[in-house]
Structure 1
Amino acid sequence: MSRTSRHLTPTGTIQATRDRRRVAFATVAGTTIEWYDYFTYAACAGLVFGALFFEPAGEGISTILAFGSVGISFLFRPLGAFLAGHFGDKIGRKPILVITLLLMGVATALIGVLPTYAMAGVWAPILLILLRILQGISAGGEWGGAVLMAVEHAPAKRRGFFGSMPQIGVPIGLLLSSGMLQVMNWLFPGDAFLEWGWRIPFLFSIVLIALGYWIRRGVEESPVFTEIAERKEQTSAPVAKLFARFTPLVLLAALVFAGNNAIGYMTTGGYIQNYGTAELGLERGPVLAAVTWSGVSWLVFTLLAGIISDYIGRRTTYIIGYVLLGIAAALTFPVVNIGEVWALTVALLVLTVGLGLTYGPQAAWFTELFPSSVRFSGVSISYAIGSIVGGAFSPMIAAWILEATGDALNIGYYLVGMAVIALVATLLLRNRNGINLRPTQEERQRTGIYIWQKPLDETRR
């Protein structure tokens, strides 16, 4: 028997505290770097890409096209999720994490050296979009591997906490991105930012990717997948099996995530940054500072939500989160429209409470929802579809709503609607705290998923 198998507990997790901490650190570091790259692009789409890459389309349309380039990457997340899910369920979680990290880093660094439209004409936006597509493929495969490594190593009663580790990497990535852009805005004020300042955060990705690769390559494979491999039970076509047996679950899980993603991408997708500077006339530096503070708050509530979900359940945490998020979404633009930086900051801070509560428990809940043989495919593809339905084009939709109606309050109605849809999907799923994750329990993992099914027998977990 292998060393990893000897450490497996009856619930399919690993006992060694040092191993769990190493995995937690690796998932935080890797996810932070991946999303630093992703958010840097989204922020620059709102701040500079319209003028530098899409200017001939005209002022309003160039902004919509810039946000459209943000959304295009989401269309390729399912491809990344399908590839990562297929190979992650066949060859393991760890190799996929290393590959996605390198792919994201190379694409991001190349964006930093792209010529603008003034230099290369139509080839500039084409190359920008192609590199954004590579970012989308990488992001589609990254999340599933990171959360499974974190949750499948965790003690059953602390999966929410350990699962929140890759989740907090996202707001940390936002913090790092907005902080770097603030520094560049200070070092390269005015036109200098448009000429050179925006490029440096993309080039800095090279340093981060080297660090992330060094951290991730030293992490042990998930103990659950190790047992699957030892038993030679890898599924030959995990994606086909997933959709043959669990299509309703994939769709519901995607909708659970869609509400959080649609509302969250008002900030992480660059829309608020553009709205504050272009529509309200606020200075770029204070707006980026407001986003940075919202990243801190989002981090805190994401971590807190993961911990809380270990006590009150993932589903209950989500229900509370979506109620708060819907209220906050309705109030965001009325508060932002006060036209002061403090009002923008308050609106974003309030929004992050619900965002954290509907994001922190996601890793643990998605992992507990899907059976072991299709788990990587299930969590990755659900996440990718939810990203398309929710966040893919929410900044673009917001820009279109404002262009069409002239009133940002209408954007709030759209966001509240997304929160309601996600809440309904949440109510249709059962809580799964503590379910046995081992491959020997696959049959039981298929039961008690939906509210119309009988709940799991608590005494047999």
Structure 2
Amino acid sequence: MALDPHEADKVVKAQETEKRTQVRRAAFASAIGTTIEWYDFFLYNTAAALIFPHLFFPASSSYAGAMQSFATYAVGFAARPVGAAIFGYWGDRIGRKVTLVVTLLLMGIASGLVGVLPGAATLGIAAPILLVVLRLVQGIAIGGEWSGSVLLAMEWGNQRKRGLLGSFAQIGVPVGLVLGTGGMTLLSAVLSDSAFSSWGWRIPFLLSFVLVAVGLVIRLRILETPMFAAVVAAKRVSRSPVVDAVKHHWREILLSAGVRFSEQMPFYLFTSYVLVYVVAQHHYSKTFVLNAVLVAAALELFTIPYFSQLSDKFGRKRVYLTGAVLTGLIAFPYFALLKTGGHVVIFVAVIVSLLAHALQYGPQAALIGESFPTHLRYGGAGLGYQLASVFAGGPAPLLATWLLQVTGTPYSISAYIVLSAVVTVLCVAALKDRSRADITDDATYART
């Protein structure tokens, strides 16, 4: 029996209200999930620069200890593509929601365990080995987290606002950086050096258990995205989504990795390696450098969604290329300011460096996510995004430490940043801009 017009109107309004509610929940769940994941990840980054060299590698020289510590840091990046493949398979098979719950649990448990891990003085060689194992678990979890969080918001919302909606997952990076670095900054400021080095640094890691519980409550309240639900209803779910993504969209995967070079590699130099360089080479306090990174990350809470919104208006590639070019242009001035400037100048250098990052990181989620059809999007986008971690983000602090030791000048690191910008510009130019395409339509991805 057909509904009368009044009742039908009420049903339509109720459905619209429910969808708006789900869009808000999806955006919030996307942001809170990546915040927790990146909070955990950045805690490790900060500890790798300030704590782990003497705790897990006490017999090494200062240089060797830093290299060994950053090597364990790089292991997490190497594990990311593995996580992208594992969770990409399940995300495109059983859905975004369930997969994201598992990645959140993995990251939280691994990070909490780092907080109770004894050092080499207690466990000997077993201590750094266990540290590497936990870092691997972190990397696998992060590898599966990003694409699912992006799609959760992107596939629920208005297609004309995909850039803005996709950026909710990206906001998790500066929030996680603020919380993780902020926690370390506060503790390093209020505790003595000995107290901070012996037990104070563990407190933020232990808080991961609490944050995971909060994140689970939020993620369990959302529904599966309508785009993926439509794929399931139409029985178009791939039996081997990761294999199919590599087979049919290998070009997009490689280009997606390339577009990240000038965003990811300099970012980990600007937020992690800078702690070693400015403190060890120029003898500024740890608290000062942590505060500079903290302020710059806080500004990204506003610049990331702003530049993402601009990409909805002007196109992803135009905004992204601006950020890549700016990164190349500031590479040499950045280290010149760190080398010769005072407190104010260094503060400004750190802030400008993360402005260039936000220009790319904001539109990046949509730029990469739009490059793959719905039934292969979790795996394809995840592989492209995380593949860059092996060649760009992971080795960055390690290579920077080595370059400075071998050449004696930080400008060799500047040249390294410029090279990353060139790679990104070329890859962005080759990647199709689907800012205004209908990403629910498979014809969008037909070869032309």
1:83 equivalent in structure 2: 86
CA-CA distance at 1:16 after TM superposition: 2.4
Q: Indicate which of 38, 43, 56 corresponds to 1:35.
A: 38
Report 1:225-236 matches (<5 A): 225-236=228-239
Report 1:249-398 matches (<5 A): 249-268=252-271, 270-398=272-400
**8 Å contact 1:40–1:202 — kept in the other structure?**
yes
Distance, in Å, in 2 between the alignment partners of 1:279 and 1:119 is 30
Q: Indicate which of 68, 74, 81 corresponds to 1:65.
A: 68
Distance, in Å, in 1 between the alignment partners of 2:147 and 2:96 is 8
2:443 equivalent in structure 1: 443
Q: Indicate which of 16, 19, 23 corresponds to 2:19.
A: 16
**8 Å contact 1:76–1:140 — kept in the other structure?**
yes
Q: Which whole-Å deviations, capped at 9, do the CAs of 1:9-50 have from their partners, x for residues lacking one?
A: xxxx99822221111111111100000000000011001111
1:411 equivalent in structure 2: 413
CA-CA distance at 1:347 after TM superposition: 0.8
**8 Å contact 1:436–1:445 — kept in the other structure?**
no
1:206 equivalent in structure 2: 209
Q: TM-score, normalised by structure 2?
A: 0.94
Distance, in Å, in 2 between the alignment partners of 1:423 and 1:92 is 33
Distance, in Å, in 1 between the alignment partners of 2:18 and 2:35 is 26
Structure 1 residue 223 and structure 2 residue 226: aligned?
yes
Report 1:423-438 matches (<5 A): 423-438=425-440
**8 Å contact 1:299–1:356 — kept in the other structure?**
no
Distance, in Å, in 2 between the alignment partners of 1:289 and 1:160 is 30
* 1:219 aligned counterpart, secondary structure: coil
**8 Å contact 1:152–1:437 — kept in the other structure?**
no
Distance, in Å, in 1 between the alignment partners of 2:18 and 2:109 is 36
Distance, in Å, in 2 between the alignment partners of 1:358 and 1:289 is 23
Of the structure 1 ranges 41-50 and 14-23, higher mean CA displacement relative to structure 2 is found in: 14-23
Q: Indicate which of 404, 420, 423 corresponds to 2:422.
A: 420
Distance, in Å, in 1 between the alignment partners of 2:442 and 2:125 is 52
1:141 equivalent in structure 2: 144
CA-CA distance at 1:437 after TM superposition: 2.3
Segments of structure 2 that go 5 or more residues without pairing to the other structure are 1-10
CA-CA distance at 1:411 after TM superposition: 0.6
Q: Aligned partner of 2:144: which letter?
A: G
**8 Å contact 1:14–1:223 — kept in the other structure?**
no
Distance, in Å, in 1 between the alignment partners of 2:381 and 2:17 is 21
1:95 equivalent in structure 2: 98
1:55 equivalent in structure 2: 58
**8 Å contact 2:374–2:439 — kept in the other structure?**
yes
Of the structure 1 ranges 145-154 and 183-192, higher mean CA displacement relative to structure 2 is found in: 183-192
2:7 equivalent in structure 1: none
* 1:55 aligned counterpart, secondary structure: coil
Q: Aligned partner of 2:338: which letter?
A: V
Q: Aligned partner of 1:278: which letter?
A: A
Distance, in Å, in 2 between the alignment partners of 1:293 and 1:446 is 44
Distance, in Å, in 2 between the alignment partners of 1:135 and 1:116 is 19
Structure 1 residue 241 and structure 2 residue 248: aligned?
no
**8 Å contact 2:30–2:152 — kept in the other structure?**
yes
Q: Which whole-Å deviations, capped at 9, do the CAs of 1:264-292 have from their partners, x for residues lacking one?
A: 01134x21111111111011111110110
**8 Å contact 2:30–2:168 — kept in the other structure?**
yes
2:48 equivalent in structure 1: 45
Distance, in Å, in 1 between the alignment partners of 2:322 and 2:387 is 23
Distance, in Å, in 2 between the alignment partners of 1:444 and 1:360 is 23
Q: Aligned partner of 2:326: which letter?
A: L
2:5 equivalent in structure 1: none
Q: Aligned partner of 1:174: which letter?
A: L
CA-CA distance at 1:300 after TM superposition: 2.2
**8 Å contact 1:260–1:358 — kept in the other structure?**
yes
Identical pairs, percent = 37
Q: Aligned partner of 1:345: which letter?
A: F
2:8 equivalent in structure 1: none
Distance, in Å, in 2 between the alignment partners of 1:346 and 1:32 is 25
**8 Å contact 1:187–1:197 — kept in the other structure?**
no
Q: Aligned partner of 2:85: which letter?
A: F
CA-CA distance at 1:258 after TM superposition: 2.1
* 2:340 aligned counterpart, secondary structure: coil
CA-CA distance at 1:182 after TM superposition: 1.1
**8 Å contact 1:371–1:437 — kept in the other structure?**
yes
Q: Which whole-Å deviations, capped at 9, do the CAs of 1:173-213 have from their partners, x for residues lacking one?
A: 00111110111112322111110111111001111111111
Distance, in Å, in 1 between the alignment partners of 2:270 and 2:203 is 21
Structure 1 residue 179 and structure 2 residue 199: aligned?
no
Distance, in Å, in 2 between the alignment partners of 1:301 and 1:251 is 27
Q: TM-score, normalised by structure 1?
A: 0.92
